[in-house]
A and B are shown apart, each in its own frame.
Chain A
Amino acid sequence: MSDPLLSLRDVRKTFRTHGTTQVVLDGIDLDVAEHQCVVLIGASGSGKSTLLRAVDLLDDVDDGQIVLGGLDIADPWVDADEVRARLALVFQQYNLFPHLRVLDNLTLAPRHVHGRRRADAEADALAMLEKVGLEHKARAYPDQLSGGEQQRAAIARALVGNPDLLLLDEVTSALDPALVGEVLDLLTALRDEGTTMLIATHEMGFARDVAHEVVFLHEGRIHERGTPAEVLDHPQRPETQEFLRRIR
């Protein structure tokens, strides 16, 4: 098998507050191969967001390697903007730009980061909006959209730059239960197209459907990993069993 697209090796991250040091990522090893969908599960505070933010270089790690396409992007001499332009992170709270129409949210990076012409960027953006079922909202402002629509727009914005890897941080947690389905359906479709994804989620049914690998994070360490059937149906570790019991 060829090298995975993304490899984390012994990644460590601490937060210092008021003199105490909290180890939030404690020796993480993780691989995401191309066209694979890896799902992170774990209780709130287990370090899922920190891990995704570290991969997107929004936070520096203390130690370890984050290798993307053969390059250790944790090294501070690597051009972080270039790395981030190849990745896309979708946040729990959408983080659409409220002053821009949906279409302009989508064309912002293609035009200003990737130097696309406006007409081309808009054509791509409209195609992407059609794919997520939002072509009729292209001219609307984010606050005129429902939560599910906003999140789908945010995913479209992430995808329109053709990222090598899509990072998703609990993208359904802020949504009404009734709106969760439309977002998960979209992600399932993306997985079927072969989009490489690293996903943090609390939706176990969804994890079971889409994951090639499920990774259980507990107190900054990976306690268990495997296929959905292995981790979700036959968990070996007591921490995993406890976690799964609680969220059922």
Chain B
Amino acid sequence: MGEMSGPVDDWTPSARARARTEFRRAQHRRALLVALVATLLVVAVVVLVVTTAPGWDRAREAFFSPQRAVEVLPEVAAGLWLNFRVWVVASVVGLVVGLLLAVVRTSRIPALFPLRMLTVAYVDVFRGVPLLLVLLLVGFGLPALRLSWLPVSAAFLGGLAIVLTYTAYFAEIFRAGIESVHPSQVSAARSLGLNRGQATRLVVLPQAVRNVTAPAASMLVSLQKDSGLISILGAVDAIRAAQIATTGDYNFTPYVVAGVLFLLISIPLTRLVDAWSARQGWRGELRRLPGAGVLR
């Protein structure tokens, strides 16, 4: 190993090294400038195209009316609170049950065979049927059974449909994660004396979950957005609240308000997910490996 820096290391960059550093800085500045100019150009073009469109004045009134926005904000925001709760509940249930299903599906325990088949069938069905259809079937089909113990509020049934579908998605993601863990990891764990369950819980699952954090998290983002679909059952979420507000005056500003509110949740969430997955990849743990740097 080389010596540590500090008083021992008396290196001063040569003129050559300083010239190279200066060149790299200039290159960096130029890259920033190019990015800035390109961005401004795109924004200018978009603004120009939109504002010179023949219907722009009418569209602005119908979609971007400030007074209308302020008026409907409380109702739409109250609706968004429902979306938020659906999102949290569906996320937690979906992640936990999805992980369990994935474990069952990948386990080799003979006694679990029937359960495994059930899991496969469940995942196949709910991954393959459009969420909208599941919503309609659950939302209008279940109440028809007249089960006295089953809540029949639109919010509950809508949430249930979303949970059913997304649990299947999460199960698939986790299964991919489990299968991405190298079999030698299991051998190593078992040879240390861990039993099957311990090896799964202590060695396989932690790595599996890490391997699929990014796709699972992006699934959470799309779940947040899809929580708006419960409005078709009549649950008064942000979208439904906006829809109610537009009836009568044909001013669509409430929809724009709802859209902006959804973005206010999903954009920070997406950035969070990006930051997290960046830590995993080339910019994260793998960054230290030779070859992960930026090549000139």
Contacts and interface: CB of A to CB of B under 8 A. Distances in A.
- A and B from one assembly? yes
A12 B17 CA distance: 10
B182 to A, nearest CB: 14
Interface stretch (B69-77, B187-195, B225-233, B288-296): B288-296
A75 B14 CA distance: 13
A59 B290 contact: yes
A49 interface: yes
A12 B20 contact: no
A65 B16 contact: yes
A76 B9 contact: no
B5 A20 contact: yes
B290 A58 contact: yes
Contacts of B9: 21, 23
Interface string B1-18: 111110001010110110
A34 interface: no
B296 A80 contact: yes
The number of chain B residues touching the other chain, given as a range, is 20 to 34
Contact of B17 (A26, A49, A58, A63): A63
Contacts of A60: 296
Interface of A is mostly: mixed
A59 B293 CA distance: 8
Contact of A76 (B4, B27, B288, B291): B27
Contacts of B23: 75-77
A160 to B, nearest CB: 21
Interface residues of A, number: 29
A14 interface: yes
Contacts of B27: 76
B4 A22 contact: yes
A17 B295 CA distance: 19
A77 B26 CA distance: 11
B295 A57 contact: yes
Nearest to B13: A63
A219 B3 contact: yes
Interface string A10-51: 101010010011111010000000000000000001010100
B183 to A, nearest CB: 15
A74 interface: yes
> Do most interface residues of chain B lie in helix, strand or loop, or is the interface mixed?
loop
A76 B16 contact: no
B290 A12 contact: no
Nearest to A77: B23
Contact of B1 (A65, A80, A219): A219
Given A63-B16, A76-B20, A21 B296 contact: no
B279 interface: no
Given A63-B11, A76-B296, A80-B296, A23 B5 contact: yes
Nearest to A83: B296
A62 B17 contact: yes
Contact of A58 (B1, B3, B291): B291
A58 B11 contact: no
B24 interface: yes
Nearest to B18: A63
A220 B3 CA distance: 9
Interface string A55-78: 001111011110000000011110
A49 B2 contact: no
A208 interface: no
A53 interface: yes
B1 A22 contact: yes
Contacts of A53: 290
A12 B11 contact: yes
A63 B2 contact: no
Nearest to B3: A23
B295 A23 contact: no
A17 B1 CA distance: 14
Contacts of A20: 4-5
7 contacts: A21-B5, A23-B9, A23-B11, A62-B11, A62-B13, A76-B296, A80-B295
Interface of B: 1-5, 9, 11, 13-14, 16-17, 20, 23-24, 27, 288, 290-291, 293, 295-296
The 7 closest A-B CB pairs, nearest first, are: A21-B5, A23-B2, A63-B17, A80-B296, A220-B2, A22-B2, A76-B23
